[in-house]
Amino acid sequence: MLGLMLGRAGYQVVAAANGKEALGRLGEADVVLCDIRMPEMDGLAFLDALPEGAPPVVMMSAYGTVDTALQAMRRGAYDYVSKPFKSDEIVLTLRKLEEREQLLTERGRLAVENARLAERTGEPVEGFVGRSPPVLDVLRILSRVAPHDTTVLLTGESGTGKEVLARALHQLSRRRDGPWVAVNCAAIPESLLEGELFGYNRGAFTGAVSAHPGLFEQADGGTLFLDEIGDLPSALQSKLLRVLEDGAVRRLGSRAPQRVDVRIVAASAQPLTPPRFREDLFYRLAVVHLQLPPLRERPEDIPLLVEHLVGAQSRRLRLPSPQVAEEVMRVLVGHPWPGNVRQLENAIERALLVCDGEAIRVEDLPRELMGALNSPAPPSEADLSIPRQTALLERSLILRALAQHGGNKAAASRSLELSYKALLYKIRDYGIEA
């Protein structure tokens, strides 16, 4: 009966009379449907006898209990179906299994790409997952550039993985044993940024009670990552250009320059165009310019990213690694992801924390993925509270600014005419997922 049912659905079926016979015919099948109660060898014994590399197995039984299903899954079964079942139910199970196998095949292809990259550079790029042509182009260029001290500029929307690639450039270079120093140029007040970058001597200004080596000196022999380089004040852009040309820094309060051996990797989520950004500095930074694609332009990478993130986050949170329901994957692939991979990572972490541990379902996803747009309910016309109405307006404006700038908080803070730190506090206070 099952053979006829699956034959009509387009499958080729090979039948075996019992478990022992089936063990000798595993090479003829891509998937095995196996009963629990069988002569000579029952289904659980069949699972125990499967050799390594055997096809995935779906167990079936009319006498099953929850305990039996759990035993089957622990012994390696892919799924468990209770009889009697409808034809579309078993076909749906097989199609889900096909999608899983395709995903594993794609993951294997990505592993091959990383292995080829490792042959050229000595190590694969960790954490930058994808198989789309734009991603593979970025990895190909990175593998060729990494061993050299060339300055690299990484551009792309917030959350596309610029810092991940910057770290990879360091790890794949001859400087990998040297220091890795990262600074967000938008997160440090302008009045302090010069001293942080170039250092200062004792007495250089009020409060300088001792000498302080700048980030260039701290990164000597290694890599300095300048994130959000577009927020660097114009006066410091001139000094940075001089450092890149001379290979030397001068502390505040010092007349003597000090040579530094530092590779510069810069990143920006905003266009680096005049007059806000010096054109000569742009060309000096962009010796190699890598433009990272937003996640919405590579939706074919989302299933691979989801599998990678579920595994990584489960290990980090010490939680079981659940399955991802088919309807969940459809929602994830169809979402525009203004916050890119970082937003996807946050959504997966949230789902892992609230799911039942066996499967991530649609109700486990953040509300904004379901079209709620993370916005509050419209205020009542009878509510005349100025504090409450002001808070609603502030929250709405912050959400609009974050969406307009692709989740880039530094750019949003400028549009809102708020300090970066004030925006972070309001994001926290209003419970905005950004």
Tens digit of each residue's pLDDT (9 = 90 or more) over 371-389: 533 444 445 555 566 766 7
pLDDT of residue 377: 46
Tell me the average pLDDT across 183-204.
88
CATH number of 296-370: 1.10.8.60
Position 279 confidence tier, pLDDT thresholds 50, 70, 90: very high
Distance between CA atoms of residues 409 and 424, nearest Å:
8
Q: Is the pLDDT of residue 179 over 70?
A: yes
| Reported confidence tier of residue 85, pLDDT bands at 50, 70, 90 | confident
Query: What confidence score (pLDDT) does residue 267 get?
Result: 96
CA distances from 50 to 18, 33, 69 (A): 14, 13, 17
Residue 68: φ, ψ to 5°: -65, -45
Structure tokens at 214: 């700048």
**Which pLDDT score, from 0 to 100, does residue 375 have?**
43
pLDDT beyond 70 at 197: yes
pLDDT tens digits along 226-277: 999 999 998 899 999 999 998 999 888 888 888 999 999 999 999 899 889 9
Least confident interval from 35-44, 155-164, 424-433: 424-433
Q: What is the DSSP letter of 395?
A: H
Helical H segments across 263-408, by residue range: 279-285, 302-317, 326-334, 340-354, 386-404
| Domain ranges across the chain | 2-101, 125-293, 296-370, 386-429
Residue 144: count other Cβ atoms within 10 Å of its Cβ: 12
Q: What is residue 125's three-state secondary structure?
A: coil
Could you give the CA distance from residue 431 to residue 266 in angstroms, rounded to a whole number?
A: 31
Residues 391-408 pLDDT 10s: 777 877 887 787 777 678
Compute φ and ψ for 287, nearest 5 degrees.
Answer: -55, -45
pLDDT at 140: 86
Paired tokens of 45: 């014994």
Let me know the angle formed at the C-alpha of 194 by 188 and 197, rounded to the nearest 5 degrees.
Answer: 85
**Residue 280: its pLDDT value, please?**
93
Strands (E), 48-179: 57-61, 79-82, 152-155
Contact 308, 106 (CB under 8 A): no
Architecture of domain 2-101: 3-Layer(aba) Sandwich (3.40)
Percent of the chain, pLDDT > 70? 88
Contacting residues for 175 by C-beta, under 8 A, at least 6 apart? 149, 221, 222, 223, 263
Longest Cα separation, the chain:
91
More confidently predicted of 418 and 69: 418
- Map tokens 């066996």 to a residue: 358
pLDDT tens-digit map of 105-159:
655 555 555 555 544 444 456 778 888 888 888 988 998 899 899 999 999 999 9
Mean pLDDT, to the nearest integer, of 26-49?
Answer: 88
pLDDT digits (tens, 9 = 90+) for 289-326: 999 999 988 888 899 899 999 999 999 998 888 999 88
Q: What is the pLDDT of residue 116?
A: 53
Q: Taken in order 422, 426, 428, 432, is the CA torsion positive or negative?
A: negative
Q: In the chain, count H helices and then E strands.
A: 17, 12
Question: Reduced to 3 states, what is the DSSP secondary structure of residue 262?
Answer: coil
Contact yes or no for 151/263 (Cβ under 8 A) = yes
Query: Which tokens in the block code for residue 72?
Result: 């089957």
CB count within 10 Å of CB 263 equals 21
With tokens 């979402």, the residue in question is 335
Arithmetic mean of pLDDT over the chain: 84
Q: Do domains 2-101 and 125-293 have the same CATH topology?
A: yes
Report the distance separating Cα 300 and Cα 296, nearest Å. Answer: 9
**Interatomic CA distance for residues 10 and 94, integer angstroms:** 12
CB 269 within 8 A of CB 411: yes
**Per-residue pLDDT, 255:** 83
CA atoms in the 13 A half-sphere facing the CB of 344: 30
Answer yes or no: CATH 3.30.470.20 is held by domain 125-293.
no
We find that the CATH architecture of domain 386-429 is Orthogonal Bundle (1.10)
pLDDT in tens, 316-359: 998 888 999 888 888 888 888 888 999 999 999 999 999 988 89
Q: What is the dihedral of CA 37, 42, 43, 46, to 10 degrees?
A: -160
Range 357-390 burial, b when 16+ CB lie within 10 A, else e:
eeebbeebbbebbeeeebeeeeeeeeeeeeeeee
DSSP character for 116? H
Helix (H) / strand (E) containing 367: none
Output 131 or 207, whichever has higher pLDDT. 131
Helix (H, G, I), strand (E, B) or coil at 84: coil
Please tell me what DSSP assigns to residue 77: -
